[in-house]
Amino acid sequence: MRRSQTLAIALAAAVLFIGAGAAAQKQTDKKDQTKQQPGQDPTLRADDVRLPVQVTKNDIFVSGLTKENFEVYEDGKLQPIKQFESPSDLPLRVAVLMDTSNSVKLKLPFEKDAAEDFMATVTTFRRKDKVLFATFDSDVELHQDFTDNLELLVRALRKVKAGGYTRLYDGVYRVIEEKMANLRGAEEPGAEARRVIVVLSDGEDTASERSLKEAVALAQRHDVTIFGISTKNFKGIGAGTVETSDDKKLRELCEETGGRIFLPSEKLELFRSFSKVKDGLRNEYVIFYNVPNPETTGKEREIKVKLKGASGDLYHKRRYIY
């Protein structure tokens, strides 16, 4: 099984951020395990560690980095980088998961407009990228399965109404379990779609059977990155942004899976948040290295990524299990 760890490194005011999700990914076709893609290191194995890495400075993604800009350490030991992809050209499978509970009723028109703009960008940029649309309130409902047909997505989006309780964690869990967990077997040979959920919510879960911890664990297991756009402070006009306790839970959901949270307070910021998510999907380096001890599983490891650059070496680390 290939292990996957999602990293995000932010280089702003010397603050580093890393979102970590160790995921054991099942290979459904043994023939695909042995196929080498153009430029792929022939020593890569099916159980190698895959590290998607995003690098930003002042909230702008840093391009032009090479393999020589990175070093990876596991449990303090430098690991040879077997393959480096820049930028990642993996197909995208993006689930837009929208809160339609009673608490977001007044914000729903703005959310629909911004989500539609985002869907249009994703589905028209490259034909190999697809979007799914689902909502959560007292129920979790799939309105449109993965497609690159914008008309179908917009039609489903415009029909939704707000009401009921909030099952955020159940929504995340079900989208992964029912729509993303088995994506690998459905993809064309050799291709590994990047799996992403974009959650649009005020962050307050009031009715889920699943916990935050369970949602994070499932996302990590299946290499799903979660981006969150919180509408908790959204007033439609500039009102300042204060992170609430609910936002902190949404932040944990995102950062523990390698994503980010955005806290818009007005319509323009809401659109910009979706734009930043889109940029994050397009600006990604991927690092591969061999598992040092493939015979041991379920053990806690510490991974550290070192970014070498003109401004000095920057580090971040996190403990994870594979």
Lowest-pLDDT choice from 26-30, 106-110, 212-216, 303-307: 26-30
Are both 67 and 136 inside the same structural domain? no
Please check whether residues 9 and 154 belong to one and the same domain. Answer: no
Tell whether 140 and 241 lie within a shared domain. Answer: yes
The CATH number of the domain holding residue 116 is 3.40.50.410
Average pLDDT over residues 250-272: 85
* 160 and 69 in a common domain: no
Predicted confidence at residue 14, as pLDDT, reads 25
Domain identity same for 59 and 140: no
Strand order in the sheet with 224-230: 140-147, 130-136, 92-99, 194-201, 224-230, 261-262
**Lowest mean pLDDT segment, chosen from 13-27, 127-141, 242-256:** 13-27
Q: How confident is the model at residue 6 (pLDDT cuts 50, 70, 90)?
A: low
Per-residue pLDDT tens digits for 185-201: 555 543 468 889 999 99
User: Domain range spanning residue 52?
Assistant: 2-87+284-321
Q: Is the pLDDT of residue 33 over 50?
A: no
- Tell me, what's the pLDDT at 239? 42
Residue 17 — pLDDT band, cuts 50, 70, 90? very low
Q: Residue range 261-282: average pLDDT? A: 84
- In a shared domain, residues 181 and 41: no
In this structure, are 277 and 289 located in the same domain? Answer: no
Q: Average pLDDT, whole number, for the chain?
A: 77
Residue 272 shares a structural domain with residue 310: no
The tally of domains found in the chain comes to 2
Q: Which of 43, 63, 46 is nearest to 54 (CA)?
A: 63
178 and 263 within one domain: yes
Q: What is the mean pLDDT of residues 126-137?
A: 92
Residues 169 and 30 in one domain: no
Is pLDDT at 244 greater than 90 in this prediction?
Answer: no
What pLDDT was estimated at residue 16? 30
The lowest-confidence range among 116-120, 155-159, 267-271, 314-318 is 314-318
Distant-in-sequence, close-in-space partners of 26: CB < 8 Å, separation ≥ 6: 1, 184
- Measured at the CA of 194, the angle between CA 223 and CA 292, to 5 degrees, comes to 50
Torsion of CA 247, 252, 253, 258, to 10 degrees: 120
pLDDT of residue 274: 87
- Verify that 22 and 141 share a domain, yes or no: no
Query: Which tokens is 46 given?
Result: 């099916």
Which position has the higher pLDDT, 38 or 213?
213
Query: How would you list the strands of the sheet with 314-321, edge to edge?
Result: 77-79, 70-74, 300-307, 314-321
- For residue 296, is pLDDT > 70? no
- Domain co-membership, 49 together with 96: no
pLDDT tier at 23, thresholds 50, 70, 90: very low
Can you give the pLDDT at residue 179? 95
- Nearest 5°: the CA angle 213, 288, 147 is 65
